[in-house]
Structure 1
Amino acid sequence: MIPIQNTEPTHWTDELVHAVKTPSELLTLLGLDDRHLPSSQNAMSAFKMLIPRPFIARMEYGNAEDPLLRQVLADDIEMQPNAGYSQDPLDEGNHTPQKALVHKYERRVLVIAAGSCAVNCRYCFRRHFPYSDNQLAQQEWDSVIHYIEANPSINEVILSGGDPLMLKDSLLSKHIARLNTLPQLKRLRIHTRLPIVIPERINAELLQWVEDSKLDVIMVLHSNHGNEIDNIIAKKVLQLKQAGATVLNQGVLLKGINDTVEAQVALSERLFAAGILPYYMFTLDPIEGGAHFDISIDTAQRLMGQVAQKLPGYLMPRLAKEIPGEPAKTIFAPL
């Protein structure tokens, strides 16, 4: 057990204040010495480290190859140039009709609701996104509402970021109340990693606005490895479902972290045991700085083909990739 968590209940924002921000502090907490510390000065300058302690508590003490550690530990390998990897791998810049809106698919629109996360994952496909140019002031939510009203085919709003749950519940409830007034909308989808890294983010205030929404609320969590899921998260997921939310998971295939049959099977089993349905498993978006995590699509297909031999169909996430210019996500069949 890593002696870093207060056993007393804390407010989720307190965990942000005390999050780990340097490689040396992280490795000290894990009982690892300097020989396990990769050169990271340049990587840290390009993309800061931020890891909440509840997430660190699920890492294996003394294990330099821990799959959770490797997702968040800065490494200067990120700075090596790689052909085909860009700062905007999904071409979102050409699908942003107005500030903080991404509209790539006909019937749904994505809102960049927040410009920060509770954890900085080194493979993040928006690690270079110009959040400073896409911060929505409270009054600018009017433009979001007007855009949706002007596009009656939109029936689903996706809150993303950053992480939309970085917003205070008082503000989120106001925004969602406005969305509730639009008769064309059926669903509200929230893409978030925050409940995985700080489970206490699922609090009474959040559960209340989920329960009060007239929209079908889908909480899409982001977990990549079975070790990220524990009994605390299962308890919070149960509360979400009792409030009326559908809870799904999407992950990313990451070389050296979850690219084995055993890791994928364990992830799906643990998700389902915690009340979370596996949804998507994405191949890595070719983000500049993330090439060392990438595996080929055919390798991913063969891997998921072996996984399919061990899991029932309802526990198999769809292997997918977002390809710029395509009208929907591209689904790859397991081989």
Structure 2
Amino acid sequence: MNAPRTLRYPAELVESGLVSAEKLPALEDVAARYAVAITPEIVGLIDPADDADPIARQYVPDPAELRTTPDETGDPIGDKIHEVSEGLIHRYPDRVLLKFVHVCAVYCRFCFRREMVGPQAPHLTPQALENALDYIRSHPDIWEVIASGGDPLVASPRRISELVQALADIDHVKVVRFHTRVPMVAPERVTDALVASLAAPGVTGWVAIHANHPREFTPAARAAIARLADAGIPLVSQTVLLAGINDDAETLGQLMRTFVENRVKPYYLHHGDLAPGTGHFRTSLAAGQNLMRALRGRVSGLCQPTYVLDIPGGHGKAPVGPSYVETTPEAVSVEDYRGGKHPYRPDKIRTES
């Protein structure tokens, strides 16, 4: 019997029963523009009988992806504006983002780099990587390097270890952070060798794990996360707010609790970026703020991510969560998690000596 394989073509989605045959021509049009890959781990989670299945919506191509609105762009967060060397983005003063690879284990249908990743994307050559490292060496303000792509954990442990060691040899680089879906979608890749490759003397390795729905935490995914956590690697989360997937308080709250139960600290809840063909996933900012209000006080403080918008045009992330403070010339009012408002008059408060 053949081992389960990653599905990469719409015809394979039909053969596997994930989509009906009549959808094949439309999905082939989508696949001609945007890469498709669904790992066996994810295939096993999809309910083909549920047209609104939150797992399928993340990974199975949809004809809606070919509908582009005027405000959508192939570079929604302005990577190119801040690209200082091929594959190296220097947007913030103390950190850079390195597009270590340009492929992923799966291709999310809402990806903000969907025009830049996939089997057709050019690989980062050894010379381009060396040029990026030279830039990092020559900028002592760079304290952290974020390995992204693509998904950096699809690279071999040898390549990852070589990268980490090269960064550890740079005195001013102290943190290397990996952004990945691999523990959730291809947990078998999280081997002892891969875990060992993520850190070296002189730098601290962090891993940011991307998941958007509680069902993604399969037993294998939980075991992969545990291997990272047991090795002492600090773990944080990334989630994209997605219509029809996690845009309700119950699902989002359970997702954040599940992260914490698995020793992953919720970090960012991203508002959907203006990537081409992703409008059917985006919520309004007001909807996201209402969800954050619903989480506040109802789930542990450990479970509270920061809701952020990556400002179009390359201006960086900004927190866009709700405000609980209202200030007027006469008074300050603070809102509690139930919606009650309370005056706060620090000038009236007497401190004990």
> What TM-score, normalized to structure 2?
0.84
The equivalent of 1:41 in structure 2 is 28
* Bigger radius of gyration among the two: 2
Pairing 1:182–2:170 present: yes
The CA deviation at 1:210 is: 2.7
Equivalent in 119, 122, 135 of residue 147 of structure 1:
135
The equivalent of 2:274 in structure 1 is 286
* 159-168 or 228-237: bigger deviation: 228-237
Relative to structure 1, the CA distance from residue 150 to residue 324 in structure 2 (aligned partners, 3 Å threshold; closer, same or farther) is: farther
| Structure 1 segment 1-335 matched on structure 2, within 5 A | 18-26=5-13, 29-30=16-17, 33-34=20-21, 39-60=26-47, 62-129=49-116, 135-324=123-312, 328-334=316-322
The CA deviation at 1:289 is: 1.2
Asked if the contact 1:190/1:219 (under 8 Å) is kept, the reply is yes
The CA deviation at 1:276 is: 1.4
The CA deviation at 1:63 is: 2.2
Relative to structure 1, the CA distance from residue 198 to residue 130 in structure 2 (aligned partners, 3 Å threshold; closer, same or farther) is: closer
For residues 86 and 202 of structure 1, what CA distance do their matches in structure 2 show?
Answer: 34
* 216-225 or 132-141: bigger deviation: 132-141
The CA deviation at 1:52 is: 0.4
2:97 is paired with a residue of what secondary structure? strand
For residues 2 and 208 of structure 2, what CA distance do their matches in structure 1 show?
Answer: 26
The CA deviation at 1:242 is: 2.3
The CA deviation at 1:213 is: 4.3
The CA deviation at 1:267 is: 0.5
Asked if the contact 2:177/2:206 (under 8 Å) is kept, the reply is yes
1:46 is paired with a residue of what secondary structure? coil
For residues 60 and 316 of structure 1, what CA distance do their matches in structure 2 show?
Answer: 29
**Partner amino acid for 1:174?**
E
* 324-333 or 277-286: bigger deviation: 324-333
**Partner amino acid for 2:211?**
S
Asked if the contact 1:30/1:61 (under 8 Å) is kept, the reply is yes
Asked if the contact 1:190/1:220 (under 8 Å) is kept, the reply is yes
**Partner amino acid for 2:276?**
E
Asked if the contact 2:288/2:321 (under 8 Å) is kept, the reply is no
Q: CA offsets, 1:230-283, max 9 Å, x none?
A: 222222222212222111110101111111111101101211122211111100
Relative to structure 1, the CA distance from residue 21 to residue 331 in structure 2 (aligned partners, 3 Å threshold; closer, same or farther) is: same
For residues 25 and 271 of structure 1, what CA distance do their matches in structure 2 show?
Answer: 32
For residues 155 and 255 of structure 2, what CA distance do their matches in structure 1 show?
Answer: 28
* 26-35 or 250-259: bigger deviation: 26-35
Asked if the contact 1:233/1:274 (under 8 Å) is kept, the reply is no
For residues 118 and 31 of structure 1, what CA distance do their matches in structure 2 show?
Answer: 18
Asked if the contact 2:46/2:55 (under 8 Å) is kept, the reply is yes
The total of aligned residue pairs comes to: 322
For residues 213 and 231 of structure 1, what CA distance do their matches in structure 2 show?
Answer: 32
2:74 is paired with a residue of what secondary structure? coil
For residues 233 and 31 of structure 1, what CA distance do their matches in structure 2 show?
Answer: 22
The CA deviation at 1:60 is: 3.1
Q: CA offsets, 1:270-304, max 9 Å, x none?
A: 11122211111100010011111111111110122
Q: CA offsets, 1:97-132, max 9 Å, x none?
A: 111111100000011100100101110000112787
Asked if the contact 1:106/1:154 (under 8 Å) is kept, the reply is yes
**Partner amino acid for 1:182?**
I
Relative to structure 1, the CA distance from residue 265 to residue 35 in structure 2 (aligned partners, 3 Å threshold; closer, same or farther) is: farther
More helix by share: 1
Relative to structure 1, the CA distance from residue 185 to residue 330 in structure 2 (aligned partners, 3 Å threshold; closer, same or farther) is: same
Relative to structure 1, the CA distance from residue 317 to residue 30 in structure 2 (aligned partners, 3 Å threshold; closer, same or farther) is: farther
Relative to structure 1, the CA distance from residue 39 to residue 130 in structure 2 (aligned partners, 3 Å threshold; closer, same or farther) is: closer
**Partner amino acid for 2:12?**
E
**Partner amino acid for 2:52?**
E
- The share of aligned pairs that are identical, in percent, is 29
For residues 333 and 185 of structure 1, what CA distance do their matches in structure 2 show?
Answer: 31
Relative to structure 1, the CA distance from residue 33 to residue 136 in structure 2 (aligned partners, 3 Å threshold; closer, same or farther) is: closer
Structure 2: segments with no counterpart, 5+ residues: 324-353
* 196-205 or 23-32: bigger deviation: 23-32
